[in-house]
Amino acid sequence: MDVQRYISSGIIESFVAGLATDQEVRELQAAMAQYPEVKAAADAVQLDMERYVTMQSIAPPPAVRDRIFQLINNEGVETAVPVSAYAAEEQSLYAADEPKEVKLVSPVWRYVAAAAILGLLASVWMNVQYSNSSNDWKGKYEALLTEKDKMIADNSAMQTRMQTSEQMLQSLRGMKMVPMYTVTPTRPGLLATVYWNPKSEEVMLTVTNLPAPAADQQYQLWGIVNGKPVDAGVFEMDAAVKGFAKMKSMVPGAQMFAITLEKKGGSPTPTLTAMYVAGKVQG
């Protein structure tokens, strides 16, 4: 027997993988008993197979691993399947005439199958974990985009307010500030301020403390020019309290400003008994 040729024929690999026929199994077992080289080669192939299985295996979660090995250990347990009496009798009549084929499966093949199943389950588990992680990062990314849009909107609003403030400061440059105080002891602590540019005749008004008017009434600003009242317009309290209310232009020569409470829409002449604050123009 050419031992080396027999070893390289592939029969050992077929045996270790569980694919050898009965005749090949008997021949190999006889060769292993007679030739130590054949036995050593078979042991080496089986060891290589076991190492390959170990290297390719991926550790799944403990619960999945325990379940797989439980199924492998219970593989020899058969489940009874009921058959009819006629089928059982027919099977017994022909059972003796049918040749029986016995295949020996190496234990290594079970581990190969187990490793494949474990690898598949581990892959599924890893895909699920990746999907969950991907969804989590997607939610965080969308939250960042929302926050970015909000910051852009806030920044735009802030720039608008800054531009408005800058325009207001530009308007206030060169203006005279005229504080107007309460004119009657029955209404103490009232205060409003006029900003007037005699050159451009522009007038701005801000209110620090004035009582809210009735629904059918409105405050009206007056400029006193050469002793005569000149209408500077009515104003809304919200605009004057929160910032500046732009009033009607006032010609140069005004010596004082005053605010009266009139009917809604204003009056052609001031109601002197309803004057709340007044102030002189300085220099």
pLDDT tens string 100-113: 444 444 555 566 66
CATH number for the domain formed by residue range(s) 176-280: 2.60.40
% the chain with pLDDT above 70: 73
What integer is the mean pLDDT of 69-97? 51
Strands, sheet with 254-263, edge to edge from the N-terminal-most edge strand: 228-234, 217-225, 254-263, 275-280, 176-182, 191-197, 202-209, 245-246
Residue 247: the pLDDT is 94
Residue 65: the pLDDT is 64
Mean pLDDT over each residue of the chain, to the nearest integer: 79
pLDDT tens string 245-256: 999 999 888 999
Q: What is the pTM of this model?
A: 0.43
**Distance (Å, whole) CA 221 – CA 223:** 7
Residue 62: the pLDDT is 67
Q: Where are the domains of the chain?
A: 3-125, 176-280
pLDDT tens string 177-229: 999 999 998 999 999 999 999 988 999 999 999 999 999 999 999 999 999 99
What integer is the mean pLDDT of 60-68? 65
Phi, psi of 243 (to 5 degrees): -165, -120
DSSP string spanning 71-117? HHHTTTPPPP----HHHHHHHHHHHTTSPP------HHHHHHHHHHH
